[in-house]
């Protein structure tokens, strides 16, 4: 297993954004109800249990999101990757919902701008590599 990367430019240079298959939605889920297969994440908030679920399991008015995984094994103590990614997407008017996993960070963006978001992140990665 690779050692986690913590230096900002090294995380950005190594992020290799990859669009994941599937469309997902952020939803509030009844705690007593069984979670759908392929649930991506959960978080308990004061307002209820938040899940990221396949769009098919979400209410019909849910916004479809695509997941971009940043392939770098970023350190949980690393500083700046989330800020750089969310800033460049914001500059391009793309909403970004960041989710940190143990090994990787994941960016959920609206489905209709997912390919554009990946291209922007690849450009950011290439700029930092120079």
Answer yes or no: is pLDDT of 26 > 80: yes
Mean pLDDT along residues 1-26: 89
Nearest to 89 by CA among 59, 119, 130: 119
The dotted CATH code for 1-22+64-130 is: 3.30.2130.10
Q: How far is CA 62 from the centre of its chain?
A: 17
Mean pLDDT along residues 32-43: 90
What does pTM read for this prediction? 0.93
Answer yes or no: is pLDDT of 119 > 80: yes
* DSSP bridge partners of 49: 29, 44
Is the Cα torsion angle 79, 22, 57, 35 positive or negative in sign? negative
Quick one: pLDDT at residue 71?
94
Answer yes or no: is pLDDT of 121 > 60: yes
Quick: pLDDT tens for 102-114.
889 999 999 999 9
Structure tokens at 35: 């979670």
Sequence spans of domains, the chain = 1-22+64-130, 24-60
Quick one: pLDDT at residue 1?
54
Quick one: pLDDT at residue 79?
82
């Amino acid at each position: 297993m690779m050692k986690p990367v913590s230096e900002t430019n090294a995380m950005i240079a190594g992020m290799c954004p990859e669009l994941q298959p599937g469309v997902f939605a952020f939803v509030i889920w009844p705690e007593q109800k069984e979670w759908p297969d392929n649930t991506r994440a959960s978080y308990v908030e004061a307002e209820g249990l938040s899940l990221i679920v396949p769009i098919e399991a979400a209410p019909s008015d849910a916004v479809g999101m695509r997941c971009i995984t940043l392939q770098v094994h970023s350190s949980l103590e690393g500083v700046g990757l989330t800020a750089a990614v969310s800033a460049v997407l914001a500059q391009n008017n793309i909403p970004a919902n960041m989710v940190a996993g143990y090994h990787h960070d994941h960016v959920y963006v609206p489905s209709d701008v997912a390919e554009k978001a990946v291209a922007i992140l690849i450009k950011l990665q290439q700029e930092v590599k120079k």
